[in-house]
Amino acid sequence: MQPGVVFAQDYQYMCSEAGQNIIKDAIKTHGLTGVVVCSCSPRMHEATFRKAAAQAGLNPFMVEIANIREHCSWIHKDKEEGTEKACVLMRAAVAKVTLNAPLKAGESKVVKRALVIGGGIAGIQTALDIADAGFPVDIVEKNATIGGRMAQLDKTFPTLDCSSCILTPKMVEAKANENIRLITYAEVEEVSGFVGSFKAKIRKKARFVKEDVCTGCGVCMSKCPSKKGLNEFNMGLNNRSAIYIPFAQAIPNVAVIDKEQCIKLKTGKCGLCQKVCTAGAIDYTQQDEFIEEEYGAIVMATGFRPIDASKFDEYSYSTCKDVVTSLELERIMNAAGPTGGVLLRPSDGKHPHSIVFIQCVGSRDVSGRGKPYCSKICCMYTAKHAMLIRDKYPDVEVHVFYIDVRTPGKNFDEFYRRAAEQYDVDYIKGQVGKVYEENGQLVVRGVDLISNEQIVLNADMVVLATAIEPDPTARKVANMLTASIDTNDFITEAHPKLRPVESPTAGIFLSGVCQGPKDIPETVSQAGAAASKVIGLLAKDKLTTNPCVAHSDELLCNGCSCCEKVCPYSAISYETKLINDHGVKETRRVAMVNEALCQGCGACTVVCPSGAMDLKGFSNKQIMAEVDAICL
Amino acid sequence: MQRVSERVIARARELMREGTVNKVAGWKAGEFFYDCAPYVFESEESLKDLVYDRFCAANLSKYMIKNSVAAGAEGGKVLVLLKPCDTYSFNQLLTEHRIARENVYVLGVGCEGMCDIDRIREKGFKGITGVDENADGKTLTVHTLYGDGEVAIDDVLVNKCEFCKGKAHMIFDELISDNEDEGPRGDRFAGVRELEAMSPADRFAFWQSELSKCIRCNACRNACPACSCRKCVFDNDASGIASKANTDSFEEKMFHIIRAFHVAGRCTDCGECTRVCPQGIPLHLFNRKYIKDINEFYGEYAAGAEAGQRGPLINYTVDDIEPAAVSDKGGN
Amino acid sequence: MSVNADWKPRIVAFCCNWCSYAGADLAGSSRLAYPADVKIIREPCSCRVNPMFILKAFERGADGVILCGCHPGDCHYSTGNYYTRRRMALLFSMLDYIGVERGRTRVEWVSAAEGAKFSRVMNDFVAQIRELGENVKVGDLRCKE
Amino acid sequence: MQMSEKDVAALVKEISGSDVKKCMKCGKCSATCPAYGEMRFHPHQFVAMVARGRVEELLKDPTVTRCLSCFACVERCPRGVEPANVVAAIRVLAEREQEGNNFSPADVPKLLSQDPEIPQQALVSAFRKYRK
């Protein structure tokens, strides 16, 4: 046995009730001052064992875990080698635990207000659920209206009900709810603080329209002489005026002026909208405003966008107008879209007779042009599009090139089969190699892998099921929130299975596609899950803080300020005070750590030249002892 | 240097007499002419022992940590004589809030290079009784028991002056100097490059041979202005480094490497460590390696060039070089 | 290279709790094997790794030390690994300068999602150390025979 | 020494440097192939057959030379499989088979007269062999 070890026991399921009882009994029977559990990762059960120790009267921070599962038995095939390594890991943990000191968690406040970043269906649903529980919520939306991507969709699968018919009531509800404040046309600029008390600075961009005065009558839009702006809501397929309301059901139903496009703002001349506005809502002098607010929890619901299809020049997206993305097709199919819901091809406004859908454009692509993941929603929306077109225009031939058709989800496969069987959509197993224009005719060259033939099809329109990627703001927001992000810019969850709506950063929650590709029902259920986590947090009056924080020994502190400069939380400040060093009294400058702000990273400990700064729970001596034990 | 010397001493006396300062940190001749040691003079009378000659290499900045505070407590000021290179250390200590600036009167003193008695001896002189600087300012007359001889000053400079950083003072309240700044002298990284060109095994052998000479007298640490912690980590049990009794310890073996890292980014290359080492270990080769790397990786940085700088190790840029990329550079 | 046939490299890996330690956990749960010579020490952040720990490891006979943290920009503590990057660049350069080859020290950024990368990095690092053979006796730096 | 078909397949992988396991069977290589109609086996089949260790038929197939080495398949493969390199590896191996030549140098003029469109690749391969 290792020096200091008085009791050792083997048990298969240490984390079980019975296993925990063994630990509790041992602590009481042997009067243990430290416990080492050789088990799975501390990221899994450290909290469990610490709680058990506490129940037996031992300070929970006198427990250390030797990770002999994920870091040992699961990866080493050679039993002898593995066992040897397990012993070393145990030795290191014992060496550490003998130097552990009892720690006591502090307390910090919980601001009972939540911030939701993003006002799509994910953000709206999360906010509604939090608000319903009685907590105030702010939704910050970068666009002029809430609604997000779902507002742009025509119908939804697999029920084929109208997207805005089910979304609009939620948007209205968000506006009407007393606990929800909508901050549209705004972006979060800065976030500081930590779980329970974040401070956010929000920039509300100038709309040049008084939000509380505008009635949304729309007269300004019709009178505006500058009508050449690309209509973002319609994916740039038609134009809008410089002053505009994004779409009929926009919330808030308030106009906004595009300052790059507005003649008055660019040249000082015009001012027509101001003249026609009977409410007097137009204000060309409006400036960006800043809102500063404290929040107990923050939800990221930053959503997605389709990737740029022009990277795939073999599909001729940038050269042929009749090659469109699926989201563009949504707008073409939509009654409020550029064609009033009539299927007309963009180049000449004629009715198409043959449409080819290409799936997996940029999804499952490791060539560097696309995304390595499956975008998850494309198989289903392509089936939806194919079915809707065949239903409304039976004269149109529809071909779908697919690699796999992925339809896990309630009623999803049945939906796809209906498209193929009842609506006679031609599903071709294979990819398209090239789309090109020949004598004014779109030609699609693909392959049918089942019949093993290359197929050349004439098409009037080609629809690309482009991959989706996280909204480009996600990375910036995640960095601001110190939430970790994966190589595809999706936000990492605290645990892929067990904590899917939380970020590893305490107090940050995930809702919707910012966490990974998902469809509307999944988004809504995740939004609800994130809300319930937020509610659970906001329902608390106090939070216990991590006791593994930095601590400065004022007898050793030189007062050099190195630590202060590297602290990411401004948790270190300097104070000139009377120091009594074993009877020698001196007034000098020393570092002080604010334990509520300190998150325990340890950056300060390394820059401290005198070694005055140390980290509780990961002290210099403890880590040195671990190194020692490993290199024995 | 004769003329500057006389003016410096006269001005120190004057400042003391006027009451501008009540203490003077300078150099005092010891038993031998060449062992001019740092000394804090507390009366005008005692200033008769103040010297400033070719053997006043000691850097007095570090003494300001205690003396500036003490002077303040007594309601006075301390005068410190700083050569150009010493001012870097002084600034660095100001950056680190170690010196009560308001209690210090900095008299910048011109310097034309300090001489190393051992190097004079190496020139074959025995029984040296004294050294006089010749009027040309370039040679010394060496008086010995066996007659006089002459030696070129450039040949007997201490290491730090061989690679002088320049004749400009980075900070002063008053300046007595006739020198024009000619910029740095020699290539101070030549020694580092020589080592870098060797194989790792040869480098290890080199350092093993040098560091085995070390007797752990702590002279380097005691003279170093960057090594000015209230309590050194080597003496602090909680640091996980110190272990006083056991000689076969981590601290004992890695002393110089640890020390070099502790002063990395803060070391002004004042050269005191090498100068004071009784075993002649070229300790500056550690410090200059860090300085060279810092300059190459993160851009030129001179610790102490001004007070309040943010040192390279408490700073970063988002696109800093990766340690892996460093591996591909230089060395083996 | 190595004269000692029984020699097995001693490798210490410092991993930050939020990314690399979790990445190592993922390597484990995905059963992505790497040699048992690697022993992991958990740190809150890569910036907690004091160069003293690395010197200690080498002094105690380690053949290689690898430090893993979140990708720059993704640090759980936002800036910790930026400092790590500077410290380690300088420390490793210094270690090389005293005769510990650069191949024996490494910094890798491994996210919590990169179990495969963790395993690959460890396999690669161990292979590299095996190639280099036994390290110089850093502990004898001041003990010339 | 006689190599088994499996060993030959392994050799193809080695020569081509292509990881055929990466293929997700989307067929974009064949969809994109301008020589599709002239080849008995198509790019995706090369990848699939090599993955299954079925190289014998590929080695015997004279239309293997019809690949233009245009690298469109390499360019457009979303998984980085590089089918053209697999085809090239097959060709290299076919050339290496001293006895089982698809061409002999003497055949070249005849082949040319029969088919003036014969791909340059075929001729180059033959000339490469000539020099031995």
How far apart are alpha carbons A230 and A579 in whole angstroms?
A: 68
How far apart are alpha carbons A113 and A135 in whole angstroms?
A: 6
Judged by CB atoms closer than 8 Å, whether chains meet at B200 and C87 is answered as no
Among the listed residues A107, A102, A182, the one whose alpha carbon sits nearest the alpha carbon of residue A139: A182
Q: Average pLDDT of each block of 10 consecutive residues along chain B (332 residues)? A: 89 94 93 91 92 94 93 91 96 95 96 93 91 89 93 93 93 92 89 94 95 92 92 79 61 90 95 94 96 95 93 92 70 38
Residue spans per domain, chain D: 5-102
Judged by CB atoms closer than 8 Å, whether chains meet at B238 and A607 is answered as no
Give pLDDT, residue B95: 95
How far apart are alpha carbons C52 and B233 in whole angstroms?
A: 11
> Within 13 Å and on the Cβ side, how many CA atoms surround A217?
14
How far apart are alpha carbons B236 and A76 in whole angstroms?
A: 40
pLDDT tens, position by position, A160-195: 999 999 999 999 999 999 999 999 999 999 998 888
Among the listed residues A230, A226, A228, A239, the one whose alpha carbon sits nearest the alpha carbon of residue A267: A226
Q: Check whether A320 has a pLDDT greater than 50.
A: yes
3-state secondary structure of A629: helix
Residue limits of CATH 3.50.50.60 in chain A: 107-197+290-303+471-544, 307-467
Q: Check whether A1 has a pLDDT greater than 80.
A: no
How far apart are alpha carbons D52 and D54 in whole angstroms?
A: 6
Give pLDDT, residue A365: 95
At residue C28, what is the residue type?
Answer: G
Chain A, chain B: beta-carbon pairs less than 8 Å apart: 67
B119: which DSSP letter? H
Judged by CB atoms closer than 8 Å, whether chains meet at B316 and C59 is answered as no
Q: Angle between the C115-132 and C20-29 helix axes, to the nearest 10 degrees?
A: 100
| CA Rg value for chain C | 15
B251 contacts chain C (CB < 8 A)? no
φ/ψ bin of A362: left (φ > 0), alpha (ψ from -120 to 50), beta (otherwise): left
CA distances to A238, A320, A323, A433, D73 from A310, rounded to whole Å, are: 19, 11, 10, 15, 19
Chains C and B touch (3+ CB pairs under 8 A): yes
Contact residues, chain B, for C144 at CB < 8 Å: 208-209, 212
State the sign of the Cα–Cα–Cα–Cα dihedral B165, B166, B169, B175: positive
Give pLDDT, residue B247: 47
Give pLDDT, residue B331: 39
How far apart are alpha carbons A158 and A419 in whole angstroms?
A: 11
Q: Check whether C1 has a pLDDT greater than 60.
A: no
Contact residues, chain C, for B316 at CB < 8 Å: 79, 82-83, 85-86
pLDDT tens, position by position, C79-103: 899 999 999 999 999 999 999 999 9
Per-position DSSP letters for A364-394, written without gaps between them? T--SSSS-SS--SSHHHHHHHHHHHHHHH-T
D3 contacts chain A (CB < 8 A)? no
CATH of domain D5-102: 1.10.1060.10
Least confident range from A491-500, B93-102, B191-200, C123-132: namely A491-500
Say whether domain A307-467 belongs to CATH 3.50.50.60: yes
Q: What part of D 83-122 touches A (C-beta under 8 Å)?
A: none
Judged by CB atoms closer than 8 Å, whether chains meet at D22 and A430 is answered as no
**What are the backbone dihedrals phi and psi of residue A308, each rounded to the nearest 5 degrees, phi first?**
-75, 115
Judged by CB atoms closer than 8 Å, whether chains meet at A447 and D80 is answered as no
pLDDT tens, position by position, C34-70: 999 999 999 999 999 999 999 999 999 999 999 999 9
Q: Nearest residue on chain A to B311, judged by CA atoms?
A: A562
pLDDT tens, position by position, A118-162: 999 999 999 999 999 999 999 999 999 999 999 999 999 999 999
How far apart are alpha carbons A403 and A446 in whole angstroms?
A: 12
Do the bridges between strand B78-82 and strand B23-28 make them parallel or antiparallel, or are there none, so unpaired?
parallel
- Percent of chain A past pLDDT 90, that is, above it, reads 90
Contact residues, chain C, for B212 at CB < 8 Å: 142-144
B278 contacts chain C (CB < 8 A)? no
More confident residue, D106 or D32: D32
pLDDT tens, position by position, A362-382: 999 999 899 999 999 999 999
Distance from CA of C133 to the nearest CA of A (A): 16
D53 contacts chain A (CB < 8 A)? no
From the candidate CATH numbers 2.20.25, 3.40.50, 1.10.540, 1.10.287, the one assigned to the domain spanning C11-133:
3.40.50
How far apart are alpha carbons A294 and A197 in whole angstroms?
A: 6
Q: What part of B 210-249 touches C (C-beta under 8 Å)?
A: 211-212, 214, 239-241
From the candidate CATH numbers 3.30.70.3270, 3.50.50.60, 3.30.70.20, 3.40.50.10470, the one assigned to the domain spanning A550-616:
3.30.70.3270
Tokens 């499989």 correspond to D81
CB B20 within 8 A of CB B33: no
The count of residues in chain D is 132
Do the bridges between strand B147-152 and strand B174-176 make them parallel or antiparallel, or are there none, so unpaired?
unpaired
Q: Check whether A337 has a pLDDT greater than 50.
A: yes
Per-position DSSP letters for B178-196, written without gaps between them? -PPP----S-TTHHHHHHH
- Report the neighbours of C using a cutoff of 3 or more CB pairs below 8 angstroms: A, B
Among the listed residues C9, C3, C21, the one whose alpha carbon sits nearest the alpha carbon of residue C112: C21
Chains B and D touch (3+ CB pairs under 8 A): no
Q: What is the mean pLDDT of residues C15-30?
A: 94
The mean of the pLDDT values for chain C is 92
Q: What is the mean pLDDT of residues A395-402?
A: 97
Judged by CB atoms closer than 8 Å, whether chains meet at A556 and B236 is answered as yes
Strands (E), chain C: 11-16, 38-43, 64-69, 105-109
Q: Is B321 exposed, middle or buried (0-12, 13-18, 19+ CB in 10 A)?
A: middle
Judged by CB atoms closer than 8 Å, whether chains meet at A449 and D30 is answered as yes
Structure tokens at A445: 């060259």
Give pLDDT, residue C79: 85
Give pLDDT, residue A309: 95
How far apart are alpha carbons A553 and C52 in whole angstroms?
A: 19
Give pLDDT, residue A378: 97
Q: Is D98 exposed, middle or buried (0-12, 13-18, 19+ CB in 10 A)?
A: exposed
CB A414 within 8 A of CB A422: no
Most A CBs within 10 Å, among C15, C50, C71, to test the A interface: C50
Give pLDDT, residue D100: 52
pLDDT tens, position by position, A14-70: 999 999 999 999 999 999 999 999 999 999 999 999 999 999 999 999 999 999 999
Q: What part of B 169-198 touches C (C-beta under 8 Å)?
A: 192, 195-196
Strands (E), C47-145: 64-69, 105-109
How far apart are alpha carbons A355 and D55 in whole angstroms?
A: 39
Q: Nearest residue on chain A to B93, judged by CA atoms?
A: A560
pLDDT tens, position by position, D89-125: 998 888 777 555 556 667 777 777 877 777 777 677 6
The mean of the pLDDT values for chain A is 94
Give pLDDT, residue A250: 96
Distance from CA of A563 to the nearest CA of C (A): 12
Structure tokens at B270: 């004042």
The mean of the pLDDT values for chain D is 84
Most C CBs within 10 Å, among B216, B253, B277, B283, to test the C interface: B253
Structure tokens at B107: 């008299």
CATH of domain A107-197+290-303+471-544: 3.50.50.60
Residue spans per domain, chain C: 11-133
Q: What is the mean pLDDT of residues A531-557?
A: 93
A31: which DSSP letter? T
